[in-house]
């Protein structure tokens, strides 16, 4: 029927790979004998040992800790920024609204890899006008790629890319609010600030939840930006984020079984966090 | 679309409003500079020659080398940049088109036909929305290498035509916008189910189709992990992966810096224009997406 073509492809390219990754993650490649010759490796059933290895792997947890720290700081900053921009765009006071909206949304039209390449030039000493300008302004030579700064340089790329997109989601929610509600508020003598915080924000709460969930998923899956910046920043290790670690395990260390286990843990973790967040806010609403 | 006509300014305290309005406008201007400056740098830098790229003021023009950069870009490595553009169009454009058709049919079926397990199927698909493309790339690679499909067009194209979010949007839209009576009327007139879908449902769903296409296009175009793990033949690369590979090689070939810069600019120009002009479809889709959460 109409569902069949999608259903078949969904099963083949969505469910099957997940199932196959789970299957692969239960095996291990062992070197037998001297490790020479074509038949020197054997694949054996390993049970959950890949998983126990993931959960005791400090490289994995280093990456998890890093993306969590990243998310705890970057997601609120970006969403507050996006909300403020959306509220300002929606208020009567600001001019050139259409122009601003286009400007804020523009970075979203640039794919993540290209945005990362672009910013990597702006971080690169010798090429970057930003580094030069900061030097000229008396800040000394700012190193955007140092051990302590590079994570926030990545955060800046992500914020630059997705603030406009999130702003648009919130703005769409604001535009759906009937104007009468504001007029009622104004007649009651509410200030613009009160209207924004008491009327507008609660009514776009579902949009905010949506942006938060998309952001949580994106942060846990962080890959392209650090992978691109690795070309110029030695401070980004091969296990900088969980996805980078999985990639390294699969293609550099040549241990696809272990990479499969990491991918499964990461997918489940992402699902639990985003789903858990959704449940949490839904309960909050139901209770209110 | 004109929000200006949508509401009146408060009659009281207009002096106060204009002063805070000025402040707000100034703030927005600073934000706009933040969002536009990197793009401006890209435009300026793509006109510079290899020497002035490093030595001149980054945010302003210097010697004009746009033409030589362009010919260099399109002729490097046997004109492989052209191929990357065409590949991108195939992966993202054709992929998103197929994804939209498949998802609209599935969403329509889920909205308008009653069958056993409908809710279960929809729940599974909805769960798929929460599984991002990057999480699937490695499992897909393992599977594709098992069946020997890695390093082919299909390895990137086929996974790209599956769009759970598209199904979700299509279902929400079809349920709200297509009246059951209209489908009934079609049946009474003797039209087959396929015809009703093609000539009635798809037409009504057309605004949602644009939104679904856009979302999937961006999802494919932004999914860098999948082609990175699947493809080793540079002639199969999409433009993002191609530019990434050049970006890693400019230690050996310094002129590649200029090509990465102008290549990035060329590849995003059509997209940025399409994006900005289709903004209202984003808004409608995003509003629909957050309503039912």
Cβ atoms B287, A176 nearer than 8 A: yes
Residue A125's pLDDT is 82
Measuring CA to CA, which residue among A273, A161, A267 is closest to residue A212? A273
Q: How confident is the model at residue A141 (pLDDT cuts 50, 70, 90)?
A: confident
* Residue B292: burial class (beta carbons within 10 Å; 0-12, 13-18, 19+): exposed
Residue A4 confidence (pLDDT) above 90: no
Contact assignment for B105 to A3 by CB distance below 8 Å: yes
Q: How confident is the model at residue A215 (pLDDT cuts 50, 70, 90)?
A: very high
Neighbours of A14 (CB within 10 A): 21
Please report the domains of chain A, with CATH numbers, ordered by start residue: 1-47 (no CATH), 57-287 (1.10.3720.10)
DSSP, residue by residue, chain A: --HHHHHHHHIIIIIHHHHHHHHHTTEEEEE-TTS-STT-EEEEE-TTHHHHHHHT-HHHHHHHHHHHHHHHHHHHHHHHHHHHHHHHHHSSS-SSHHHHHHHHHGGGGS-HHHHHHHHHHHHSTTT-HHHHHHHHTT-----TTSTTTHHHHHHHHHHHHHHHHHHHHHHHHHHTS-THHHHHHHHTT--HHHIIIIIIHHHTHHHHHHHHHHHHHHHHT--HHHHHHTTT-TTS-TTSSHHHHHHHHHHTS--HHHHHHHHHHHHHHHHHHHHHHHHHHHHHHHH-
What ipTM does the predicted assembly reach?
0.86
Residue A53 and residue A258: Cα distance in Å, rounded? Answer: 8
Query: CA nearest A273 in B: which residue?
Result: B130
Q: Chain B contacts of A106, Cβ < 8 Å?
A: 35-36, 39, 272, 275-276
Across A160-180, average pLDDT: 88
Neighbours of B115 (CB within 10 A): 10
Measuring CA to CA, which residue among B144, B184, B136 is closest to residue A14? B136
Residue B42 and residue B282: Cα distance in Å, rounded? Answer: 26
Contact assignment for B130 to A270 by CB distance below 8 Å: yes
Q: What is the mean pLDDT of chain A?
A: 86
Q: Chain A contacts of B272, Cβ < 8 Å?
A: 106, 109-110
Query: CA nearest A266 in B: which residue?
Result: B135
Residue A234's pLDDT is 84
Measuring CA to CA, which residue among A208, A243, A68, A234 is closest to residue B141? A243
Residue A182 and residue B7: Cα distance in Å, rounded? Answer: 9
Q: Chain B contacts of A20, Cβ < 8 Å?
A: 139, 142-143, 146
Q: Chain B contacts of A108, Cβ < 8 Å?
A: 218, 275
Q: Can you give the pTM of this predicted structure?
A: 0.87
Q: Distance from A55 to chain B by nearest Cα, in Å?
A: 18
Neighbours of A47 (CB within 10 A): 11
Contact assignment for B7 to A179 by CB distance below 8 Å: yes
Neighbours of A57 (CB within 10 A): 18
Lookup: tokens for B215: 């979302």
Residue B190 and residue B201: Cα distance in Å, rounded? Answer: 16
Q: Chain B contacts of A80, Cβ < 8 Å?
A: none
Across A143-147, average pLDDT: 85
Query: CA nearest B196 in A: which residue?
Result: A2
B35-52 pLDDT, tens digit per residue, is 999 999 999 988 887 777
Cα angle: A113, vertex A118, A121; to 5 degrees: 130
CA-to-CA dists, residue B227 to A71, B193, B222, B249, angstroms: 26, 38, 10, 18
B138 closest CB neighbour out of A12, A21, A271: A21
Lookup: tokens for A185: 């508020």
A30-49 pLDDT, tens digit per residue, is 776 655 556 667 788 888 88
Q: Chain A contacts of B149, Cβ < 8 Å?
A: none
Residue B243 confidence (pLDDT) above 90: yes
Query: CA nearest A178 in B: which residue?
Result: B6
Answer whether A117 touches B (CB < 8 Å).
yes
Between positions 30 and 59 of A, the ones with CB within 8 A of B are none
Measuring CA to CA, which residue among A4, A18, A41, A264 is closest to residue B105? A4
Across B194-201, average pLDDT: 88
Residues in a beta bridge with A45: A27
Across B233-247, average pLDDT: 94
Residue B10's pLDDT is 43
A44-71 pLDDT, tens digit per residue, is 888 888 999 999 999 999 999 999 999 9
Domain ranges of chain B: 66-102+119-162+210-291
Residue A208 and residue A213: Cα distance in Å, rounded? Answer: 9
- Longest Cα–Cα distance in chain A: 86
Residue A120 and residue A117: Cα distance in Å, rounded? Answer: 5
Lookup: tokens for A127: 């090429």
SS3 assignment for B214-241: HHHHHHHHHCCHHHHHHCCCHHHCCHHH
Between positions 190 and 229 of A, the ones with CB within 8 A of B are 192, 206-207, 209-210, 213, 217-218, 221, 223-224, 227-228
B157 three-state secondary structure: helix
Lookup: tokens for B292: 């039912």
A25 vs B273 pLDDT, higher one: A25
Contact assignment for A260 to B110 by CB distance below 8 Å: no
Contact assignment for A6 to B167 by CB distance below 8 Å: yes
Q: Long-range pairs for B22-29 at CB < 8 Å and ≥24 separation? A: B24/A88, B24/A91, B24/A93, B24/A94, B25/A93, B25/A94, B25/A95, B25/A96, B27/A88, B28/A85, B28/A88, B28/A89, B28/A94, B28/A96, B28/A100
Indicate the CATH number for domain B66-102+119-162+210-291. 1.10.3720.10
Neighbours of B191 (CB within 10 A): 16
Residue B198 confidence (pLDDT) above 50: yes
CA dihedral B92, B98, B102, B107 (to 10 degrees): 50
Q: What is the mean pLDDT of chain B?
A: 84
Residue B169 and residue B165: Cα distance in Å, rounded? Answer: 6
Rounded to a whole number of angstroms, the distance between the first and last alpha carbons of chain B is 25
Q: Chain A contacts of B248, Cβ < 8 Å?
A: 231
Give the rounded distance of the alpha carbon of B84 from its chain centre.
Answer: 17
Residue B55's pLDDT is 73
Residue B13's pLDDT is 44
CA-to-CA dists, residue A254 to A29, A237, A257, B41, B93, angstroms: 10, 17, 9, 39, 33
Q: How confident is the model at residue B224 (pLDDT cuts 50, 70, 90)?
A: very high
Query: CA nearest A168 in B: which residue?
Result: B283
Residue A129's pLDDT is 82
Phi, then psi, of B240 in degrees rounded to 5: -60, -45
B133-153 pLDDT, tens digit per residue, is 778 899 999 999 989 999 999
Residue B113 confidence (pLDDT) above 60: yes
Between positions 54 and 83 of A, the ones with CB within 8 A of B are none
B78-107 pLDDT, tens digit per residue, is 889 999 999 999 999 999 999 999 999 999
Residue B8's pLDDT is 43
Residue A270 and residue B136: Cα distance in Å, rounded? Answer: 12
Residue B230's pLDDT is 95
Contact assignment for B167 to A171 by CB distance below 8 Å: no
Residue A250 and residue A266: Cα distance in Å, rounded? Answer: 15
């Amino acid at each position: 029927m109409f569902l069949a073509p999608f259903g078949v492809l969904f099963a083949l390219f969505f469910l099957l790979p997940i199932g196959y990754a789970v299957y692969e993650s239960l095996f291990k490649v062992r070197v037998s004998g001297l490790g020479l010759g074509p038949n020197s490796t054997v694949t054996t059933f390993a049970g959950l040992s890949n998983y126990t290895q993931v959960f005791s792997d400090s490289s994995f947890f280093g990456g998890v800790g890093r993306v969590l720290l990243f998310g705890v700081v970057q997601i609120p900053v970006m969403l507050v920024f996006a909300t403020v921009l959306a509220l300002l765009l929606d208020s009567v006071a600001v001019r050139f609204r259409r122009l601003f909206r286009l400007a804020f949304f523009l970075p979203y039209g640039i794919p993540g890899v290209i945005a990362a390449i672009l910013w990597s030039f702006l971080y690169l000493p010798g090429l970057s006008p930003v580094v030069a300008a900061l030097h000229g302004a008396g800040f000394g030579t700012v190193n955007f790629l140092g051990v302590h700064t590079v994570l926030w340089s990545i955060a800046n790329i992500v914020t630059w890319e997705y603030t406009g997109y999130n702003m648009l989601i919130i703005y769409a929610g604001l535009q759906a609010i009937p104007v009468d509600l504001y007029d009622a508020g104004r007649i009651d003598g509410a200030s613009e600030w009160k209207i924004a915080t008491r009327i507008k924000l609660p009514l776009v709460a579902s949009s905010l939840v949506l942006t938060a969930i998309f952001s949580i998923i994106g942060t846990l899956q962080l890959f392209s930006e650090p992978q691109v910046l690795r070309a110029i920043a030695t401070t980004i290790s091969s296990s900088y984020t969980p996805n980078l670690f999985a990639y390294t395990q699969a293609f550099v260390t040549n241990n696809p079984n272990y990479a499969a286990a990491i991918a499964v843990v990461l997918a489940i973790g992402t699902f639990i966090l985003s789903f858990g967040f959704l449940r949490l806010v839904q309960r909050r609403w139901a209770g209110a | 679309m004109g929000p200006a006509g949508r509401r009146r300014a408060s009659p009281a305290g207009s002096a106060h409003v204009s002063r805070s309005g000025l402040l707000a406008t100034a703030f927005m201007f600073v934000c706009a500079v933040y969002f536009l400056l990197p793009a401006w740098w890209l435009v300026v830098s793509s006109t510079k020659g290899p020497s002035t790229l490093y030595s001149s003021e980054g945010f302003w023009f210097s010697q004009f080398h746009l033409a030589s950069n362009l010919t260099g870009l399109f002729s490097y490595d046997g004109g492989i940049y052209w191929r990357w553009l065409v590949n991108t169009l195939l992966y993202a454009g054709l992929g998103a088109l197929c994804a939209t058709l498949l998802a609209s049919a599935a969403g329509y079926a889920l909205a308008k036909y009653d069958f056993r397990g409908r809710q279960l199927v929809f729940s599974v698909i909805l769960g798929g929305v929460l599984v991002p493309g990057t999480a699937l790339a490695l499992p897909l690679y393992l599977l594709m290498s098992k069946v020997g499909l890695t390093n082919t067009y299909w390895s990137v194209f086929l996974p790209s035509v599956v769009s759970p979010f598209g199904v979700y949007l299509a279902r929400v839209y079809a349920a709200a916008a297509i009246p059951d009576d209209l489908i009934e009327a079609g049946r009474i007139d003797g039209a087959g189910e396929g015809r009703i879908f093609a000539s009635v449902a798809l037409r009504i769903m057309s605004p949602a189709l644009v939104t679904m296409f856009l979302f999937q296009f961006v999802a494919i175009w932004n999914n860098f992990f999948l082609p990175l793990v699947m493809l080793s033949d540079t002639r199969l690369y999409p433009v993002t992966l191609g530019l990434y590979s050049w970006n890693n090689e400019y230690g050996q070939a310094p002129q590649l810096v200029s090509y990465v810069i102008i290549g990035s600019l060329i590849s995003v120009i059509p997209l940025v224009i399409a994006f900005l002009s289709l903004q209202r479809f984003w808004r409608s889709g995003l509003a629909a997406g957050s309503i039912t959460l």
